[in-house]
Amino acid sequence: MYTVMGITGQVGGATARTLIAAGRPVRAVVRDKHKAAPWAALGVELMEADANDAASLKRAFAGSEGVFVMVPPHFAPKPGYPEARAAIAAQMEAVLAARPGKVVALSSVGGHRFSGLGLITQVRLLEEALALIGDTPTAVLRPAWFMENSLWDMAPAVDAGVMPSFLQPLDRPYPMVATADIGQTAGRVLQESWKGQRIIEIEGPRRYSQNDIATLLGAAVGRNVEARPVPNDEWLATFQAQGTNWPKPRIEMLDGFNSGWIDFEAAGTNERVIGEKSFESVLAELVARTALSNTDTVGAY
């Protein structure tokens, strides 16, 4: 039995699909069984548990050959990251009690840094906790920037032919990866055997600049799209307008990417996985998803 957290999300879902395709039994940690009903139809065992509740997580992790853990994403955390700390404490307590055969955890590029990470600090805390769970084999996945983040660029691209960019300069190639490739890696690693801790970096088949993405986005939506840098002195007000009361983590993370502080470790330091999905294929999926969402909104189905 393999237990997967976040199955209704992109990475957790891709992890589960990889295991199912391999004929492995899967158990999903979910908040609401009704919302995850399509997974039950695929043979997945659904167990309701709260990410902050160690007792329910213990039951979910019990008897597992391997578990996939992750910090529930908080893009507007409170100072000190109390949400992430609570979830990590519950997960580690559950792992120590249930003693699964192995643990695979979702972290991020830059996870080796101890400061200057902003939002990535939340998964850095998870890495630190994993180092203290004894002799249980662990694998930390450090993926690059998610290609699917371009979903936020769809509306301005379609409406105005503009892609506002916080990643700068616009011509710098950044490592990026599709969430499907992350999940496939997680599912594969869960089925492997090893001792100690593994660090696995994951990026896509090539690196992309913001100018590259604007060109690809334009082709996907059928109009010319121009990448435009958002001036740094506008970041604070922009994020506050979006409802972020503590914008510092987002700003610090972006500064880390733009300065090169947040990147993979030196070549050859860790395992490296190169994904297969291109940005073009991801954008095509995002366009289709957006079109379906818009259709649903007007009540055609």
> How sure is the predictor about 141, in pLDDT bands with cuts at 50, 70 and 90?
very high
Backbone conformation region of residue 167, classed left if phi is above 0, alpha if psi is from -120 to 50, else beta: beta
List phi, psi (to 5°) of 123.
Answer: -85, -25
Q: Which residues of 255-268 are buried (b: 16+ CB within 10 A; e: fewer)?
A: bbbbeeebbbbeee
272 has pLDDT over 70: yes
> How sure is the predictor about 134, in pLDDT bands with cuts at 50, 70 and 90?
confident
> How sure is the predictor about 100, in pLDDT bands with cuts at 50, 70 and 90?
very high
Question: Which residues, at least 6 apart from 113, have a Cβ–Cβ distance to it below 8 Å?
Answer: 120, 124, 256, 261, 262
Structural domains in the chain plus CATH codes? 2-297 (3.40.50.720)
Question: Which residues, at least 6 apart from 14, have a Cβ–Cβ distance to it below 8 Å?
Answer: 179, 180, 182, 183, 184, 186, 187
Backbone conformation region of residue 272, classed left if phi is above 0, alpha if psi is from -120 to 50, else beta: beta
Question: Which residues, at least 6 apart from 18, have a Cβ–Cβ distance to it below 8 Å?
Answer: 183, 184, 186, 187, 188
Which tokens in the block code for residue 295? 């259709």
* Cα 246 → chain centroid: 21
Q: What is the mean predicted confidence (pLDDT) over 167-190? A: 98
Question: Given this model, what pLDDT does residue 301 score?
Answer: 23
Interaxial angle between packed helices 82-98 and 54-61, expressed in degrees from 0 to 180 and rounded to the nearest 10: 40
292 has pLDDT over 60: no
> How sure is the predictor about 249, in pLDDT bands with cuts at 50, 70 and 90?
very high
| pTM for the predicted model, two decimal places | 0.94
298 has pLDDT over 50: no
CA end-to-end span of the chain: 37
Residue pLDDT, tens place only, 148-168: 999 999 999 999 999 999 999
Cβ contact 98:35 at 8 Å: no
Residue pLDDT, tens place only, 185-225: 999 999 999 999 999 999 999 999 999 999 999 999 999 99
Residue pLDDT, tens place only, 38-86: 999 999 999 999 989 999 999 999 999 999 999 998 889 999 999 999 9
